[in-house]
Chains A and B, each alone.
Chain A
Amino acid sequence: MKTISEKILSKRSGVDAASGDIVTVPVDLVFAHDGTLPLSIQELGGHSVKFPKSVVAFCDHASPSPSEKVSNVQALMRQFAHAYRLDFYENGDGICHQIVLERYASPYKIIVGGDSHTCTHGALGAFATGMGSTDVASIMAYGKTWFKVPETVHVKVSGKLPKSVHSKDVFLELLSRITADGATYKALEFYGDTVEAMSVESRATLSNMAIEAGAKVGMCAADEKVEAYLGHYGRSNEFTPLSADKDAIYVQEVRIRAETIVPMIAKPHKVDNVVPVTELEGQEVDQVCIGSCTNGRIEDLRAAARILDGHRSKARLVIYPASRDVLLEALKERVLETLLKAGASIGPPGCGFCIGRTVALGDGEVALSTQNRNFKGRMGNDTSFIYLSSPSTAAASAIEGKITDPRGLES
Chain B
Amino acid sequence: MKIEGKVVRVFPSDTNTDEIIAGKYKYDELDLNKLARHTFESLDTHFYDDCTRLKAPILVAGANFGCGSSREQAPQVLKACGISCVIADSFARIFYRNGFNIGLPLVECESISNNVTRGEMLNVDFDRGVIRSENRNAEYRFKPIPQFMQELLEKGGLMQYLDARGGFTD
Q: Which residues of A contact B (CB under 8 A)?
A: 24, 34-36, 38-39, 42-45, 47, 61-62, 67, 69-70, 73, 113-116, 118, 130-135, 137-138, 141-142, 144-146, 180-181, 184-185, 211, 214, 216, 270, 355-357, 360, 373, 375-378, 380, 382
Contacts and interface: CB of A to CB of B under 8 A. Distances in A.
B19 A135 contact: no
B84 interface: no
A141 to B, nearest CB: 7
Interface of B: 14, 16, 18-19, 22-24, 26-30, 41-43, 63-64, 67-73, 75-76, 90, 92-94, 97-98, 101-102, 157-159, 162, 167-170
A1 B28 CA distance: 48
B22 A377 contact: yes
Given A181-B14, A184-B92, A382-B42, A373 B68 contact: yes
A376 B42 contact: yes
Contact of A375 (B16, B73, B90): B16
A137 B30 CA distance: 16
A116 B23 contact: no
Chain B facing A: main interface SS: loop
B101 A132 contact: yes
Given A24-B170, A181-B14, A377 B19 contact: yes
Contacts of A270: 14
Contact of B168 (A146, A376, A382): A146
Contact of A214 (B22, B64, B159): B64
A73 B16 contact: no
A42 B30 contact: yes
Of B63, B68, B70, B101, most buried by chain A (CB within 10 Å of CB) is B70
A73 B30 contact: yes
A36 B168 contact: no
Given A144-B168, A377-B19, A132 B94 contact: yes
Contacts of A44: 159
A7 B24 CA distance: 40
Contact of B24 (A47, A113, A180, A357): A357
Contacts of A38: 30
